[in-house]
Amino acid sequence: MVRFILSKLLYLVPTFLGITIIAFSFVRILPGDPVLLMAGERGVTPERHAELSAQLGYDKPVVMQYFDFLGRLMQGDFGNSLVTKKPVLAEFLTLFPATVELGFCAIVIATLIGVPVGVLAAIRRGSWFDQISMTAALVGFSMPIFWWGLLLIILFSGILGWTPVSGRISLLYFFPNVTGFMLIDSLLSGQEGAFASALSHLVLPSIVLATIPLAVIARQTRSAMLEVMGEDYVRTARAKGMPPFRVIGIHALRNAMIPVVTTIGLQIGVLMAGAILTETIFSWPGIGKWMIDSISRRDYPVVQSGLLLIAALVMVVNLIVDLTYGLINPRIRVK
Amino acid sequence: MSDTSNLAAPVRLSDAAIRRRMLAEFWFYFRQNRGAVGGLVVFVLLVLVAVFASLLAPHDPTAQYRDALLVPPVWQEGGREGFLLGTDAVGRDILSRLLFGAQYSLFIGIVVVSIALVGGIVIGLLAGFFGGWVDTVIMRVMDVILAFPSLLLALVLVAVLGPGLTNAMIAIAIVYQPHFARLTRAAVMSEMKREYVTAARVAGAGNLRLMFRTILPNCLAPLIVQATLSFSSAVLDSAALGFLGMGAQPPAPEWGTMLAEAREFILRAWWVVTLPGLAILVSVLAINLMGDGLRDALDPKLKRS
């Protein structure tokens, strides 16, 4: 197992270096002079330009600049935002809990609904439940979620008036930021109605973000179950008179869950892409909206480091998924 | 699909006859899937709409009727005869814009899939055929691209290249290309072990002929399925980029861009928001249904089950 983990970790090193090269060259390819860009619209004198270039290391060869960049990354220096002048890493860490909260709720919704629906659809293959749920899954899979979010806003916020349109909590409540997770912080604050307000803000964005993972998980669970139920050991278990509930619950489900766990883990990339759209629609102050805002404000250090941090994050989560896969499926370790 | 089963037959069929039989067999399996046939019908309609948009559309998609701002659809109170599905905030006919939007979506899908498919095939063939360090380098680069969430990487690429439809298509194609490269590589590697490849090599076929004439045609089935799925994702992602203001620029009647312009009216004029999104959903759904049918018809493993 240790060797398995080490080999996986070693495998990540070139990928991570590749990610840093892409993030680094991103600012290089940009049209225009980065120094002028940072100086803003007022422009600079030639002396000040040279001084700034030297200060930022732009007078060195590109390869040296890359190694400087890499060296700073290793020290945790991800540069400063051009707009707020704050360190990018600090901004990322402030906004990150909002995205985690949203993504976590979405994946919980997707799993809690998707897995049972997939199992039931597989058991009752060909029934009306199977047909309706798989049609719904295909619709969910094809959904432009930015439009889906707008529809839900029209229905639940516009017509029914049940949920707020944007943000994480009503402006009426104010309490210290302890964990960064609004649901937990609002409970800790002990203010009446704060938790309900946070929850009502969270419902629609989580549903929107959960839509595509839910469809993928339901479809994957169904096909994994169907495959496992055709296996010899399931037939044997049935033949020896085991009650159907035990056959499905113990023999089939456990083995069918192996690919499903991987699918759920791999949704992190989908969630990050979905978070960009969902957070934009609901003005959710998380990483996705931060990236979009930075792109439109041309805040390149933020875009560069944000891209790097998100890719590194996805990579690490995928590694964890890989390792879990090795843990629950011993066959993969030997290979 | 291999035609070895036909070799045992007493009568040797001509190439054209074999091709006809294979097509008939493909259609037989495709037809089994009702959803796929439905998807195909909708897709054909979509193509027809895109081709004949200028004949079908009652108005110019960018013409602004200043006396008809936010007119509701014709069946609703206040609707007008001339504007079947109503007008948007600057008085443009929604129906005409939707019809012309079909051109954008199909065009985007075709361009993105073509670039990603051709690029992926060439790269995957090189990696699978030559193996060794060529393979390692290529696949590492593909891994790096796949490490980024696709929409995010496309967004950043567009930010670098500058917002616009062409750049959005290039960015999406770059992001999709590794999937094709991986699939091609895997298929090529399994085909390389087959005897017919060795036979062709012994007969004196050069590398290029081996790669493109001998091996590639036998790797196409998974690529076709992936191409269909990528087509629908390309329509979705380009609409998302348009929605975020990084794809097709106004006043282009692209569905995602239309949604972006309609956002501020969501609570006042449901039709400007609902209809473009519905168009995206229906197109993507039709293509995905078709993709499912193609997979069932082309994947021999699933056929007999």
Judge whether A26 lies within some domain.
no
Please give, rounded to a whole number of angstroms, the shortest distance from the CA of A20 to a CA of chain B.
10
User: Is the pLDDT score of B304 beyond 50?
Assistant: no
Structure-token match 């990610």, residue found: A19
Q: What is the pLDDT of residues B54-72, one digit of tens each?
A: 888 888 888 888 887 888 8
> What backbone torsions phi and psi does residue A72 show, to the nearest 5 degrees?
-65, -40
Residues A190 and A72 in one domain: no
Phi, psi of A244, rounded to the nearest 5 degrees: -55, -35
* Residues of chain B above pLDDT 70, percent: 94
Phi, psi (deg, nearest 5) at residue B182? -65, -45
CB atoms within 10 A of CB A263: 18
Q: Is residue A14 domain-resident?
A: no
Strand partners, B87: B93
Tokens 């399994």 map to which residue?
A: B190
Confidence of residue A72 (pLDDT cuts 50, 70, 90): confident
* A131-145, A191-205, B34-48: the lowest-pLDDT one: A191-205
Mean per-residue pLDDT over chain A, rounded: 84
A258 within some domain: yes
User: Is there a single domain that holds both residue A46 and residue A152?
Assistant: no
- The amino acid at A117: V
What the block records as the tokens of B245 is 């203001």
Three-state secondary-structure class, residue B66: coil
C-beta separation of B115 from B177 below 8 A: yes
A308 and A180 assigned to the same domain: yes
Q: Collapse the DSSP code of B87 into the 3-class scheme (helix H, G, I; strand E, B; otherwise coil) and give the result.
A: strand
Q: Which residues of B touch A156 (CB under 8 A)?
A: none
Q: Which of A12, A45, A77 is the last residue of a domain?
A: A77
- Binned at pLDDT 50, 70 and 90, residue B146 comes out as confident
Would residue A16 count as lying in a domain? no
At B303 the pLDDT is 46
Q: Which domain holds residue A52?
A: 32-77
**Interval A106-158: pLDDT, tens:** 999 999 999 999 999 998 888 999 999 999 999 999 999 999 999 998 888 88
Distance CA A38, CA A5 (A): 43
**Nearest-angstrom CA–CA distance, B45 and B183:** 31
Q: Are residues A139 and A202 in the same domain?
A: yes
Whether residue A190 is found in the same domain as residue A278: yes
* One domain for residues A39 and A125: no
Bridge partners of A80, per DSSP, are: A87
In a domain, A15, yes or no: no
**ipTM of the complex, rounded to two decimals:** 0.84
- In this structure, are residues B172 and B117 in contact, taking their beta carbons and an 8 Å threshold? no
- Is residue A40 domain-shared with residue A158, that is, in the same domain? no
**Domain termination site, one of A15, A47, A77:** A77
pLDDT at A332: 60
Of A15, A30, A307, the CB nearest to B152: A307
A158:B245 CB<8 A: no
Name the nearest CA neighbour of B88 among B242, B237, B214, B275. B275
- A102 shares a domain with A68: no
Verify that A66 and A179 share a domain, yes or no. Answer: no
**What percent of chain A is modeled with pLDDT above 70?**
93
Determine whether the interchain pair A144/B270 forms a contact, defined as Cβ–Cβ distance below 8 Å.
no
Is the per-residue pLDDT at A84 higher than 90?
no
Mean of the pLDDT values across residues A224-253? Answer: 84
DSSP A93-136: HHHHHHHHHHHHHHHHHHHHHHHHHHHHHHHTTTSHHHHHHHHH
Question: Which of A316-325, B117-126, B218-227 shows the lowest per-residue confidence on average (mean pLDDT)?
Answer: A316-325
A18 and B160: CB-CB below 8 Å?
Answer: no
Domain identity same for A99 and A215: yes
CB contacts, 8 Å: B153 with chain A: 307
Which residue type, as a one-letter code, is found at position A63?
Answer: V
| Residues A56 and A101 occupy one common structural domain | no
Phi-psi region of B163 (alpha: psi -120 to 50; beta: other; left: phi over 0): beta
In this prediction the pTM is 0.86
Domain count, chain A: 2
Q: Residue A19 falls within a domain, yes or no? A: no
Contacts of A319 (CB under 8 A, 6+ apart): A8, A9, A12
Measured CA to CA, the distance from residue A317 to residue A323 in angstroms comes to 10
**CATH number, domain containing residue A134:** 1.10.3720.10
Over residues B38-56, mean pLDDT: 92
Q: A123 with A262, same domain?
A: yes
From B282's Cα to the closest Cα of chain A, the distance in A is 8
Residue A17 CB contacts under 8 Å (≥ 6 apart), including other chains: none
- On whether residue A8 sits in a domain, the answer given is no
